[in-house]
Each structure stands twice: as structure tokens, then as C-alpha cells.
Amino acid sequence: MVLQTVTSGGQTVTRVAAGNNFSLFLKSDGSLWAMGDNTSGELGDGTTDGGNYQTNLPEQIVATNVTAIAAGGDYSLFLKSDGSLWAMGDNSFGQLGDGTYNSATLPEQIVATNVTAIAAGVYHSLFLKGNGSLWAMGNNGYGQLGDGTTDGGNYNTNLPEQIVASNVTAIAAGRYHSLFLKSDGSLWAMGNNGNGQLGNGTYNKTNRPGQIVANNVTAIAAGWTHSLFLKSDGSLWAMGYNGDGQLGDGTYNQTNRPEQIVANNVTAIAAGYDHNLFLESDGSLWAMGDNDDGELGDGTYNQAVLPEQIVANNVTAIAGGSDHSLFLQSDGSLWAMGDNSYGELGDGTTDDGNYNINLPEQIVAGSSVPPGYNQISGQLLGTGDMQLSFVGIARANYALDRSFSLAPPNWVPQVTNPADAGGALVFTNTPDPTTNNFWRIRSVPQLQQ
């Protein structure tokens, strides 16, 4: 018998993705939210036909069970907790993988199970399955799918095709090129290489994966025509186009070989079209490259050819879009900066001509629960019951829910109790010994007297 507890507190933001003039994010309850351009249905809200081509405030698209998101050129991908892959938006090159070239304004299921990771380029898509296999669909004009074609005029595929059979652990998709990592830490690339973005020492495109780095690579990101990766020592490396200073090496010179940009302490990377973001181990946010729309968030509209610190600490996740940027802080708050012509920042503006924001602004507030709260612990009693202890807000009401599965969950309310003057309360519930048991504790409104 497996006994697992699930904490349910405030609905903070947990993941972000930035595409071509639109943004996606997930909340802690598994809901998917979107804002910005919707010309091709990339927000997945069922509109475009009535002229409602954009929204400048976050709107909920899926209510629960979303676990991962990717924002592409004018389309979106997401995963659910059952391992299913879903897509919406532009499908001109078959990038949705549904067997057609018709755009979709509502999410449609592409693969039923076993998908573990996704990446959205401008016109092509990549995903991984649980066995480590790499799959691709969409535009293949430069060989970015890595299937060995393009020469015979087979530039697109509108159904997923397997590219690598096993051992792939991470993926990234740029405009016309793709990157992936294998379990041995090796970096591989395919597709367009006109600016050296593959990092193989040439400017020749390739329609088969080629190894770029033999080992120790831990993370990858693909921009419009450039690439980034991290090594296990925390060093940041870059290659490709550098006309806006996006490589961060202090020049505007492109390179077809990886060059080290930062020696250590880098923990996360994100590539926009012509700008880049990264995090250091102290939670600081850094940026470089194009800044015409304020996407670096430094208070100017000047390009940065060297990394500059934007936020000093507490940043936990980042995403770079066409001309805008998103990040999360440790309290689960969502922040944005850059172009807002389509409402992609989600701050409710655009109508007053305030199209750009060159300093970070908070879009979704974080949790106000003090550190140490919302801590749940479980103890199996000698009677066969499960005792669940919780520390919340003093005198607040909390409900205990139970489910026998998380794929998907079917939460059934058990009991509601108030916390004491110190915020503590204890629930007791009887588990079913024949199946998994999952519990969550959630706050509920106080009843009006």
C-alpha cells in the first residue's frame, strides 16, 4: 500500500513559456493560462472568428492536470498528468502533428500517453517519450526534424515520426534548428546552420543529428538563430548569430563553435528570438542581447553585449519570447517585461499605446503565506488510520480531500475543520489498503455568521 499526501495551498504560478507575441503559464493547481496574440488560435480559447485575436489579461484555458507547456511561433503544446500531448494554434507546416494542416483554436489531443517532455520551435515540434525516444513533426525545410530528408521535397510532416530510439533526455527547438541531449551528457544538433547555431564548426545545414559536445552538458536552449547550453560545472556556452549581442561575449561577431560566456554558477537558461536570459545559483536573473522593446528589463532600450544583472535574487524560472520575457519568483509570482503590442505581458494594457515595458512588472501575485506554513505530514497509526498534521493560518477552515489516483485525480471531500490559534490541525482518515491513497488539504471560505 502506498500512502501519499498532497499539499494544496494558494494557486501560485509554477511554469512559464513565451512564444511569438503570446505567453502561457501554469498554476499550482495544474491550470493552464494564456494571454497575447491569438490570430492562429494559439491561446486555445476557441476564438479568432469573431475578431477577438488577442487578450491582454490572463485567461484560463484548461482547469486542471496540465504539467508542462511550450510556446512556439504561433502555436502551443502542453502535457497532462496522464502523459498525453495536446496542441493548438497554427498548423501550416503540420507542427501540431494531428495529420492535417488545419489550425486548431481549441486544444486537441495528439498523443494519448507516455509523453514526458515537449519543445516548440517556430514551425516544428519535438517531444520525448518515457523510453527516451525523440519524436518530431512540422517544417523540415532545413532538416530540423533530423529524419534525413529535405532533398526530395519532403519538407513537412504532419504526424509525429520517431527520430532517435532511446537515451534522449532534453530537447530544444529554434527557428529552423533543433538540439537534444543524451543520457551520457552529449549534445546533438540538426537543421539550419547558416549562422553557426549548430556549433559544429561549419555553416552547413544537416538533416541528421550530429554530435556537438561529447559529455557534461546539462541544459539546452534554442533561439531564432543561436543556441545556448550549460555544462555540469555551471558554465554557460553559446554559438550562432550575434548581431544583437545575444551571445553575451562582448562583441557582435557570430561563431560556429561553442564559446564560454560565463565560467560557473549558472543554473538555468532561456533563449528568446534575439535575446537570452539566465539564472545564477543565488537566484539572480541576468540578460543580454536585443532590447528594442525592453525585453531585457533593465530600464533602457539599449542592447547588451555582455550579461547584465536584472534581478538580484529569488528568481526561480525564466522564459524568452519573440520580444518579451517572463520570470517567476520564489513566492510563485509571475513577472514580465518587453513588447506588449498584443497583450502578451498580461497586464491589461495595450489600448492606451503603452506597448512596451522596460522594467519587470508583476502580473500574478505570489503566495502571502509565511515561510513554514502549509507544511503537511502524515503518520500511519496502529489502528490502521492515517493521521495528517498540518500548519496553516490560525482559525482558518481547511478541508481534507482524498483520491485513489492522480491520473487524473478524483478528489472526494472527507471532512472540514478549523485550525487552532497557532494554525495547527489534525485530520484522521482510514486508507484503503488495496490501492494507492492520496490526500490533499485545501483552505475553504469561512462561513458567514
Banded model confidence at residue 3, pLDDT cuts 50, 70, 90: very low
Q: Indicate whether 186 and 300 sit together in one domain.
A: yes
Q: Indicate whether 387 and 305 sit together in one domain.
A: no
Each as own residue / partner, the long-range contacts of residues 347-353 (CB below 8 Å, 24 or more positions apart, any chain) are: 347/56, 347/57, 348/56, 348/57, 349/56, 350/54, 350/56, 351/56
Q: Is the pLDDT of residue 350 over 90?
A: no
Residue 255 lies in a domain: yes
What is the C-alpha to C-alpha distance for residues 199 and 202, in angstroms, rounded to an integer? 7
Q: Indicate whether 313 and 343 sit together in one domain.
A: yes
The model's pLDDT over 359-403, given as tens digits with 9 standing for 90+, comes to: 999 999 887 555 445 667 777 777 778 888 887 777 788 888 888
Q: What is the mean pLDDT of residues 226-231?
A: 98
Residue 75 lies in a domain: yes
Choose the weakest-confidence range: 82-86, 105-109, 189-193, 346-350.
Answer: 346-350
DSSP assignment, residue 397?
E
Residue 370 lies in a domain: no
Choose the weakest-confidence range: 247-256, 288-297, 431-440.
Answer: 431-440
pLDDT for res 366: 83
- What percent of the chain has pLDDT above 90? 71
pLDDT for res 144: 97
Banded model confidence at residue 143, pLDDT cuts 50, 70, 90: very high
Q: Indicate whether 61 and 176 sit together in one domain.
A: yes
What's 420's domain CATH number? 2.60.40.10
Beta-bridge partner residues of 206: 191
Residue 390 lies in a domain: yes
Q: Indicate whether 301 and 392 sit together in one domain.
A: no
- What percent of the chain has pLDDT above 70? 91
pLDDT for res 196: 98
What is the C-alpha to C-alpha distance for residues 415 and 409, in angstroms, rounded to an integer? 18
Choose the weakest-confidence range: 188-197, 236-245, 355-364.
Answer: 355-364
Q: Indicate whether 134 and 281 sit together in one domain.
A: yes
What's 140's domain CATH number? 2.130.10.30
Measured in degrees and rounded to the nearest 5, phi and psi for residue 20 equal -80, 90
Choose the weakest-confidence range: 47-56, 205-214, 314-323, 351-360.
Answer: 47-56
Q: What is the mean pLDDT of residues 232-250?
A: 98
Who wins on pLDDT, 52 or 184?
Answer: 184
| Domain range enclosing 123 | 12-364
Q: Indicate whether 35 and 134 sit together in one domain.
A: yes
Contacts of 399 (CB under 8 A, 6+ apart): 413, 414, 415, 416, 441, 442, 443, 444
